[in-house]
Structure 1
């Protein structure tokens, strides 16, 4: 039975592309065409089968983007520098990735060429043996003339051309890069720059809100309106088998539910040992090769990513920008972009460094630069109105310069008050450091006071979470246990018997939690009960244990930069955070601030008030070790 008329174009296309598709896909198409030739065209099954064939023929089974053999790493670094300000660690890791990719691919091609030459030699030898056998009119099976160990090599040379091509394709089994950081710091554009450096096509898959496993693996053809998953659809869209696939917002993919687990469906796709034969439900028993794809993922946080999925990724932290980096980004990228988009390219808009810095510090509070771009856009729109008015009137010429007063007029009252340290502190007040969910850092006052008529209870206010409340309780316990050494218990004077201690963190509408306030709690309570003042230019961060050891904390870069903006000049940090300070902070910040690293709470107290704070020096103390 011949094929129906509407299937003949598909059959013709199949014959033309026979060498471009995999053997399993070819067998599936042949089987489906045979089946459809026996089904009435009016049948619903007929349309499903025809659509299935169209999908198989449209996928890029062997078509790839040829990557230059010698990648120009200097050019790649130049592309990253031109398109991104700061992010030095991220850019260095991307260049390392490209260098390793280039070396591994070169080694693979050399080995593949050697194997191909060996196969050609073996095939020539076997052909000569066969010819000799024919000339001698040797009876029996010709394969018996070839030794067993060589017969296997001959059989490999007789495998279908599709399998040989599949084996000769370079598959990069490098790590899956996971860029983690707050919004607006350039994670997605880093992936775009990497694709540009490799000369490959980029396909972005947004995983935000994906709750159904079928969106990753596809729907089975038994369902009405079935489609392949996002990965197969992406390959069809880009038209090559080796694109750079950006998995955006990996932390927002849905978890296990009655629709399946999308995170689990991604495990096979991101595992180099399995993704060479990824099975999509729509394609059925036809596997598709994802091993040539380069996967890059982005996320705002690691907390919501499943551990097995996170284990397949190499995490690269993209921290927020400092003010100087935001200033450079605004001058190089944001302002020229907004000038063009608002039709002011002919006359321009001029904003000095002080004006841009005013917009950054008073009208934005973020780790990235998206809000900054919106504020600059508002200024440019106002200047566009002025320019349009000036063109229609000769009495008010257009002035492209934007002053500080213009910023107040256009943007209104400052949205944020910059953190500024207090000039003086009274006993019981300490400046701590905080990390905000926006990816920025700043100072946080810890206030304590004695309340007469109590019985030594600790009262906590300021919208404190469970962890930071435990830090306060831990600090009070440590101070109580060292009251004699600190000189708090003098004769019959015992403040714990007749007073409560009230500890408060201002801005009560903001939820506060985290394991980094232990040192600050101890210093605040000790300052209150001893009457000693902690200098207002000193800030502290770090958690403590019950025995007084200081443990490391996170967000050091953001906290230190926030303290620097607030005018803090001395910071007490855990010793184990020394590496982050040396590696992550700009040199200008390190030159202007004094960092003190402590391993025990005793060292922190001595750093603030000196060794003469102790009234009982014979008491055994915890020795700190790096």
Structure 2
């Protein structure tokens, strides 16, 4: 009720025929004949009008009477007549429907006759008092038993009611026996009434064969009277039934929650206790509390205790090559173990000092506590020091120690705080970037979680949705932490270069900036969690990408880039022998399939041309499936199974060779030079540059071979340099009455880039001077108009391609010397030469004889 209601001094007695019993705060609907309604209205008001009855308050005393004897009890329910109506107003013979609303229990005076007739109603004098009556604290929980009997839609409504109203509602809804309901009406004490209702609920569950709920330790009122006051249990939580498990879990995990999460959880549970369960906001708040309790705020995985040699051996066994990645993982593992050992040593020293201090105090003859009652002034500092000296701090495992977060943006300072690196593995598809992330997690003894960023276009997928939206969820990182259950896993951010850019859904790349910044991610803010930050600094992030071109510069600046180049032939053979062939043998149901190294090398060279090993694995799978067919036929009585794959079997199983090995030119002729090209996806190879003179021309340059703008400009630069230095090279008007034609074979393949500038200058000089370039030499480098040779990319792939083609000497720009230190041992026998000017390039090929005077001309003559 919204306000206090006062009963009038006199109430009209309203007998309720069985099985009706009215309780306070509830309603009952009874059917009355017309003559009874007339007597009631006449008693209530001499000028009563049935049609206007709803506009005035009419109070009665509803007393339950039995069908047989009309005996009257001593208790009734003060009620308001809410409405009296007739369903069919034209049918005067039809009875009337009366709706009564219960207000309060009342005790009847002794002056009433023992028998009451329905006609006529008797006036009743009562003492007026204020309503509603204050309810006492509950001592019995009726919800566990009630939930087993009531439908689902009534659970939330029942949980929001006071326990006294719950008892009355259950008695009416579940149709307890009439005499039991009358007994409950005559029981004003809430504790006695709720205990009686609980007994009836248990009897009803037993009669229906339903298992009763677990027994509670709530004592009966009589038991409470016998016990001392200090043994009385405190009242239970006022939270609804479905929130009590969350409250219990919050108390259980209070030491595992951060300060912000604990405060937010308490605030949200307090707010939910005041919201009806039917409200839409109730479910949103409950889900928010469940997320706060499910996140691993301080829970970490204790890393595996591995020495560095064992970790290095584990990485070498799982992956071939990728030395730079392995080196970085070993460095991180070494730093992590060193900081952990230092922290444990510091804890041991502190404990030893405390023990020595305590033993020194005992040896100096410190007195035991005296029984005299000498009054000493209280000093807070001395008391704190005494407690600290006598109390031995608990020894907490290193892997579970976490710093206390501060309010400002200053990160906590802790010697053992694990600031994990953020590695970005860049390389072509199929080189093992994703699989090496799993190996890193295994070597660190951490849990592993993969997040695919390919195609992510919405910022909310990274930072989460705000709780005001329908179907809101946290971002991918918070979901990942809940899934793994620890705060220091290894999270793989797959395909970082394919994440969406800025659009009307936000900028996912910008949302990743805080995540991948070691100076900020210790307080990462998810929109769903609101003002509760979560620590991501202990997460080891490993991102993968195929190219750095599409990654935003601010995001790239936060990552430690590690190149994962393509595999050379020797590495592919080792991978096929150690990993791919045994894997495909098992997946195809075979026990043994053998292939010699020459067979695998033929598969690598003639049927695959990629940086990774995915196509190689598919070709090996074809071999294994063919052997599976042969093995099945042998089991059916066919030819004997031979697990050996031979060279002559490859063409029948894999078909004709898909690729021809690139071979250097065998003949020598002026105007033809071997260049080097990077073909993408980690592949490199040779590129033949051909030139010839066309008579009857005007000194023009013709270019063919699907050339792009950059490579065309390199050809024009090369010809301009040659014409500018024609006199030094002994050429007089070299392009008189002729045109020069430059062609790059494989005309259907588009070619672009500045790397062919060096090869084009050599082609023009060779063509015009008649000197040939040895076919065992290959060249790459960009040129300038002043004759400088500058650096280019893809050196490793180009050198490996030259090695496969039979090249014995490679001429590279001097600035690229740093890129050749980590070449595979198989190419170390090649001769690598570095040049920085075009003059040095010409002398490397033909010596000083290339100049007209047999010696390089002075600089003034070349400018």
> Would the TM-score normalized by the shorter structure come out above 0.5?
yes
Deviations 1:278-317 (A, max 9, x none): 1000100111011111111111111111111111111111
Equivalent residue for 1:19? 255
What CA deviation, in whole Å up to 9, does each residue of 1:138-174 have, x standing for no partner?
48xx669999xxxxxxxxx9xxx99855666943335
Residue deviations 1:177-224 (CA, integer Å, cap 9, x gap): 211111111112222122111111111111111111111111111111
What is the correspondence of 1:306-455 to structure 2 with a 5 Å cutoff?
306-345=552-591, 348-394=592-638, 396-455=639-698
Match of 2:90 in 1: none
What is the DSSP-based 3-state SS (H/G/I as helix, E as strand, rest coil) of the residue aligned with 1:179?
strand
Q: What's the offset of the Cα at 1:552?
A: 2.0
- Dislocated runs of 4+, deviation >4 Å: 108-122, 134-139, 142-147, 161-169
Distance, in Å, in 2 between the alignment partners of 1:480 and 1:386 is: 67
State whether structure 2 residue 749 is matched by structure 1 residue 510: yes
Q: Which moved more, 1:370-379 or 1:262-271?
A: 262-271
What is the 5 A alignment of 1:288-307? 288-307=534-553
Aligned Cα root-mean-square deviation (Å):
2.9
SS at match of 1:75: helix
Within-5 A mapping of 1:235-274: 235-274=481-520
Within-5 A mapping of 1:114-129: none
Checking the alignment, whether the CA contact within 8 Å between 2:721 and 2:787 is kept in structure 1 is yes
Mapped pair 1:93 → 2:331? no
Q: Distance between the aligned counterparts of 2:374 and 2:708, measured in 1?
A: 91
Asked if residue 585 in structure 1 is aligned to residue 823 in structure 2, the reply is yes
**Secondary structure of residue in 1 paired with 2:620:** helix
Residue in structure 2 matched with residue 598 of structure 1 by the alignment: 835
Shift of 1:89: 2.6
Q: Any conservation in 2 of the 1:548–1:622 contact (CA below 8 Å)?
A: no
Counterpart of 1:4 in structure 2 is 240
Instruction: Report deviation, 1:80.
Output: 0.8
Specify whether residues 263 and 113 from structure 1 end up closer, same or farther in structure 2 by C-alpha distance, changes over 3 A only: farther
Q: Distance in 2 between matches of 1:535 and 1:472?
A: 21
In the other structure, the counterpart of 2:848 is 611
Aligned to 2:702: 459
Q: Secondary structure at the match of 1:584?
A: coil
Judging changes above 3 Å, is the alpha-carbon distance between structure 1 residues 191 and 414 closer, same or farther for their aligned structure 2 residues? Answer: same
Whether 2:781 is the aligned partner of 1:542: answer yes
Of structures 1 and 2, the one scoring higher in RCO (CA 8 A, sep 6+) is 1
Conserved 8 A contact 2:420-2:538: no
- Indicate conservation of the 8 Å contact 1:550/1:600, yes or no: yes
Report the alpha carbon displacement of residue 357 of structure 1 after superposing the two structures with TM: 0.6
Residue aligned with 1:449, SS: strand
Q: CA deviation at 1:378?
A: 0.9
- Count of residue pairs the alignment pairs up: 594
Pick the aligned partner of 1:30 from 261, 266, 275. Answer: 266
Structure 1 residue 530 displacement after superposition: 1.5
Q: Is the 8 A contact 1:327 1:353 kept in 2?
A: yes
The answer as to whether partners of 1:23 and 1:162 remain within 8 angstroms in 2 is no
* C-alpha contact (below 8 Å) 1:276/1:288 kept by paired residues: yes
What is the Cα deviation at residue 109 of structure 1? 4.5
**2-structure distance, mates of 1:88, 1:566:** 25
> What's 1:67 paired with?
303
- Cross-structure match for 1:468: 711
TM-score, reference length from structure 1: 0.89
Distance in 1 of aligned mates of 2:353 and 2:247: 37
CA contact (8 A) 1:202 1:244 kept: yes
- Distance (whole Å) between structure 1 residues aligned to residue 336 and residue 511 of structure 2: 27
Q: Deviations over 1:594-620 (max 9, x none)?
A: 222212111111121221111144732
Q: Give 1 or 2: higher helix fraction.
A: 1
Cα pair 1:22 1:162 within 8 Å, conserved: no
Q: Deviations over 1:445-472 (max 9, x none)?
A: 1111222333222222222223222211
Kept in 2: contact 1:251–1:301 (CA 8 A) = yes
1:52 counterpart (288, 307, 314): 288
What is the CA distance between 1:361 and its match in structure 2?
0.5
- Which runs of 5 or more structure 2 residues have no equivalent in the other structure? 1-159, 161-237, 358-368, 385-392, 394-399, 406-411
Per the alignment, residue 206 of structure 1 pairs with 452
Which of these residues, 767, 772, 778, is aligned with residue 528 of structure 1? Answer: 767
Distance in 1, Cα, partners of 2:754 & 2:856? 31
> Alpha-carbon deviation of 1:548?
1.1
Cα distance in 2 between the residues matched to 1:183 and 1:199: 27
Matched with 2:740 is 501
Instruction: Write the deviation string for residues 250-295 of structure 1: whole angstroms up to 9, x where unpaired.
Output: 1111112221111111111111211111100010011101111111
Partner Cα separation in structure 1 for residue 374 and residue 671 of structure 2:
105
**Contact 1:459–1:500 (Cα < 8 Å) also in 2:** yes
Give me the whole-angstrom Cα distance separating, in 2, the residues matched to 1:622 and 1:198: 63
Shift of 1:87: 1.9
> 1:241 offset after TM fit, Å?
0.7
Q: Find the aligned partners of 1:121 and 1:246 in 2 and give their Cα distance.
A: 48
TM-score with structure 2 setting the length? 0.65
- Looking at structure 2, the residues matched to 600 and 401 of structure 1 have their Cα atoms a distance apart, in angstroms, of 55
Q: Does 2:620 match 1:620? A: no
